[in-house]
């Protein structure tokens, strides 16, 4: 082969008419953004700002919902304790039985003693359950109805027919909300009635 002088081919040089390469199917160039995790596209800054703004708007609503839930739970707990105090006060008051009337077969209560006992038990129970401050602000009402099957009477609070000696206790307990401390206390009212049940023996039940 005759080679012209000055045009000797160099070893390792590719032909001038084109380039030879291998392209793998399914692979391409991947452009990465500075700061984005490998394999994940970068989130636009505008989207991040929208998420932050939405969170700021929703946060007060979430806090208000949590506060209202806590206050609702407090109301339920206070009502349960106040109801227990009223029930115990009524049960203690109906122990003040008029023994002379009971001996004549006419069950009756000593009205003054029953009212004083109910009030004392209610005030003591409020102090133990809620403290001195709440007990002083609370209102205690007591009513004694000396009714009997022969002479029934109407309950002065509910209007229902009463045929037995009954003591009614009504408590009004102020409840302050923790979420809205500036709001005035909410009055929570509970009532309880306790009656003297006398079992009358019939001729068949007598020994």
Of residues 185 and 179, which shows the higher confidence score? 185
Which pLDDT band holds residue 205 (cuts at 50, 70, 90)? very low
Kindly report the pTM of this predicted structure: 0.68
What is the DSSP code (8-state) at residue 105? T
pLDDT digits (tens, 9 = 90+) for 73-130: 889 999 999 999 999 999 999 999 999 998 888 889 999 999 999 999 999 999 999 9
Whether residue 141 contacts residue 123, with contact meaning beta carbons closer than 8 Å, is answered with no
Average pLDDT over all residues of the chain: 80
The pLDDT value recorded for residue 38 is: 59
Tell me, letter by letter, the H, E, C secondary structure of the chain: CCCCCCCCCCCCCCCCCCCCCCCCCCCCCCCCCCCCCCCCCCCCHHHHHHHHHHHHHHHHHHHHHHHHHHHHHHHHHHHHHHHHHHHHHHHHHCCCECHHHHHCCCCCECHHHHHHHHHHHHHHHHHHHHCHHHHHHCEEEEEEECCCCCCCEECCCCCCEECCCEEEEEEEEEECCCCCCCCCCEEEEEEEEEECCCCCCCCCCCC
Res. 24: pLDDT tops 80: no
Give percent above pLDDT 90 in the chain: 48
Question: Which residue, among 144, 129, 119, has the nearest Cα to 195 in the 3D structure?
Answer: 144
Whether residue 78 contacts residue 85, with contact meaning beta carbons closer than 8 Å, is answered with no
What are the backbone dihedrals phi and psi of residue 94, each rounded to the nearest 5 degrees, phi first?
-75, 0
Res. 170: pLDDT tops 70: yes
The pLDDT value recorded for residue 2 is: 47
The pLDDT value recorded for residue 10 is: 53
- Return d(Cα 126, Cα 85) in angstroms, integer: 7
Which pLDDT band holds residue 175 (cuts at 50, 70, 90)? very high
65's tokens: 């919902």
Which pLDDT band holds residue 3 (cuts at 50, 70, 90)? very low
The pLDDT value recorded for residue 59 is: 81
Other Cβ atoms less than 10 A from the Cβ of 15: the count is: 8
Overall average pLDDT of the 170-197 stretch? 88
């Amino acid at each position: 082969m005759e080679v012209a002088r000055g045009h000797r081919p160099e070893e390792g040089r590719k032909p001038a008419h084109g380039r030879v390469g291998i392209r793998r199917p399914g692979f391409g160039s991947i452009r990465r953004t500075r700061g984005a995790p490998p394999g994940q596209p970068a989130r636009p800054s505008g989207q991040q700002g929208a998420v932050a703004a939405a969170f700021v708007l929703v946060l007060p609503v979430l806090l208000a919902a949590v506060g209202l839930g806590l206050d609702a739970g407090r109301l339920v707990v206070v009502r349960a304790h106040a109801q227990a105090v009223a029930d115990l006060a009524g049960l203690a008051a109906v122990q003040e039985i008029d023994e002379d009337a009971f001996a004549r077969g006419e069950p009756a209560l000593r009205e003054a003693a029953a009212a004083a006992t109910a009030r004392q038990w209610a005030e003591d129970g409020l102090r133990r359950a809620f403290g001195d401050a709440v007990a002083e602000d609370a209102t205690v009402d007591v009513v004694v109805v000396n009714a009997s099957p022969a002479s029934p009477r109407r309950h002065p609070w509910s209007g229902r027919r009463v045929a037995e000696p009954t003591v009614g206790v009504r408590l009004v307990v102020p409840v302050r909300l923790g979420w809205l401390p500036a709001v005035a206390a909410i009055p929570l009212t509970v009532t309880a009635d306790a009656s003297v049940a006398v079992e009358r023996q019939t001729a068949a039940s007598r020994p």
